[in-house]
Structure formats: structure tokens, C-alpha cells
Amino acid sequence: MKVKKVSDHIWSLKTWMIIPIHVWIVVDKEGLTLVDAGIPMMSNGIMKYVNQLEAGPLQRILLTHGHSDHVGALKNILSETKVPVYAHQIEIPYMEGDLIYPRRKKAEYNVAKQIAQPLQEDEHGGLQTIAGLTPFLTPGHSPGHVVYYHEQDQMLLAGDLFTSKNGKLHQPMPMFTADMTEAVRSSSIVKQLKPKRLEVCHGNSVLNPADQLKDYIQKMEKKLLEK
Ligand SMILES: [Zn+2]
Ligand SMILES: [Zn+2]
């Protein structure tokens, strides 16, 4: 597994399974947070790196969504350390198999019941910041997909809201995307937050993504009209 420090408080851990798969470790005064849990074979590497950081034990896991390549290491990690796992409340019934992900034929039982708990709302109807990370609902790739914004580092951990190649924003994988039109609409979060840097699960870093957003949306709108 390849580890890279991507900002003052955030490390990205990467493996390959046909495509790159990233998870992120975020250091904060409220303790260590893992964002997304990758695939099962990543669990040892993740825990090893948590120990190596010497910044205290893992305190929580935040999920961008419940697809199998984002929750795979949960079971092993939780057998070692009991930490709370959070996802958007819209996403939880899909990842537990009570609802079928849109455009899929069968229910997916990606996360056992009673493991994930809903991200809490704040008094303005947004989602509460946890350990320096503010979640924003960005549906489309999946119904309850969220991104996490680290304000201090101006870093957006964007999960599967996009993929990326050579520093450019690309669409999330069409085959696994519930509603591409909605996903493109959700990409406007980048304009709202103007992060200095954006990380995706399947791809490399994108600097100042807001600068490319107009082009991305135009390209995607054309693509969606052609369909
Ligand atoms: Zn996904
Ligand atoms: Zn994915």
C-alpha cells in the first residue's frame, strides 16, 4: 500500500485492484479518523499505518457511501477496534440491503446491520462537523453519497463524486452511478467550497478543482444530452 501525506492533517493510503483505491487518515485534536474503508485486503495496511502515525488510536470511520470498494475493510478493522462508523442516513438502508441501489438488480449486503450510524444534523439543517471534517450530501453516484470538507486544510475528500486522471476531473464510473445527472448537479459543491485540493477514491489529486468545474459540467451536459 502506498501512503502519501496530501495536506497538513491528511494522509492518503492507496492500493490497486484493476483501478486505484484510496482511503484517507485524518489527524485532529479529536483523534484519528479514517475516511472510507476500501477493500478487505487494505485492513492490515490501514491499521499498521494508524500505529505508525503515533497520533493515538483510531476514533471513528466516516463513509462517503456504501459501495463494496468503500466499506471492504470495515469488518476486519472493527474486529480489532470498536469504533463508531458514520454514513448519511439516506445511504444506510442501501448498504445494509434493505433497499436496492438504483440501476442495480439485487440488494447488496455490504455492511452488517447496527454498524453504521447516521451523520448528525446541525441546527441549520446541514451535517455536523466531526473531527475537522464537514460532510455535505452529494447524491447521484449513490443516493446518500457525501463528501467531507476539511476546512483548515481546504481539502475536499470527494469519494466517488468524480474520478480523476492527470489532475483533471472525470465523471464517476458510469456503470456504478445511480443517477449521473444528479451526480453532475452535486458537483457544484466544488464551486461552493472552492477547495485548494480535491481527492477522489479512484484517481489522483486535483488542485483547485473549481477552476475546471465549468468545463466539466459543460462536457457532462453534452454527454448526457447525446444519450
Ligand atoms: Zn461508488
Ligand atoms: Zn468506488
| Ligand nearest the Cα atom of residue 146 | 1
Contacts 24+ apart (CB under 8 A), 46-54: 46/1, 46/13, 46/73, 46/77, 47/77, 47/80, 47/81, 49/1, 49/3, 49/11, 49/13, 49/25, 50/25, 53/11, 53/25, 53/27
* Cα dihedral across residues 205, 208, 209, 215: positive or negative: negative
- pLDDT by residue (tens digit) across 122-134? 999 899 999 999 9
* pLDDT the model gives residue 194: 98
* pLDDT the model gives residue 85: 98
CA of 50 to the centre of ligand 1 (A): 24
Dist CA 3 CA 43 (whole Å): 14
The answer for residues whose C-beta is within 8 angstroms of residue 157's C-beta and 6 or more apart is 10, 24, 35, 36, 64, 133, 147, 148, 149, 150, 199
Kindly give the parts of the chain with pLDDT less than 70.
none
* pLDDT the model gives residue 227: 74
CA of 58 to the centre of ligand 1 (A): 24
- pLDDT by residue (tens digit) across 96-106? 999 999 999 99
CA of 159 to the centre of ligand 1 (A): 8
Residues with C-beta atoms within 5 A of ion ligand 1: 67, 160
